[in-house]
Amino acid sequence: MLWELFFLFFKTGAISFGGGYTVIASIQREVTEKGWITPERFQELVALAGMSPGSIATNMATLIGYSQMGVIGGIISTIGIILPSLFLVIIGTAFFLRLQNNYWIRSSFYGLRPIITGLIVYAAIHFGIGGSQEPLISWSTFGMLIVCAGSLAAVTKYKMHPFAVILLSAAFGIVLF
């Protein structure tokens, strides 16, 4: 089981371009297919990992590893998800410093941006609306869209600090839901 945890998160860490939110769906598919965690429990872990400081993918690995094999499972899973990034940073830095002005390298990074954005939007839709037991169109969904639009406007138009927006969104959620 420890090897399975390590290899699952090593593989996840190797494909997690764009941050932890881009691999949430991949982690969910793997752990639910293996029967380690139910979809409902997974959503609880996503919420807990998102509220915890640090990368959500690393937090997810730690929580899932801990839920399966205790402290050693959490440590092994965390090491598994961190190692690919560590290797890539060390190797990539050596090459990138030499090739940073290369047209092909710059273009490939610009090409990754829309993919990463799409994966983050998918994760937001999947966990914000798609994971609910309620119908797609409901007062709850409408309330979530209001909070989302208000948060976006507060950060972009009114330049509010993200922490203040989080607190206001939480207060609005308590009143609305």
What digits encode the pLDDT tens for the residues 63-116?
A: 999 999 999 999 999 999 999 989 988 998 888 788 878 888 888 878 888 888
Computed on alpha carbons and rounded to an integer, the radius of gyration of the chain in Å comes to 19
Map 133-154 to HEC letters: CCCCCCHHHHHHHHHHHHHHHH
**What are the tens digits of pLDDT across the range 112-135?**
888 888 888 887 777 766 555 666
User: Taking phi first (over 0 means left), then psi (-120 to 50 degrees means alpha), and beta for anything else, what does residue 49 get?
Assistant: alpha
CA separation for the pair 64, 45 (Å, rounded): 8
**The pTM is what?**
0.59
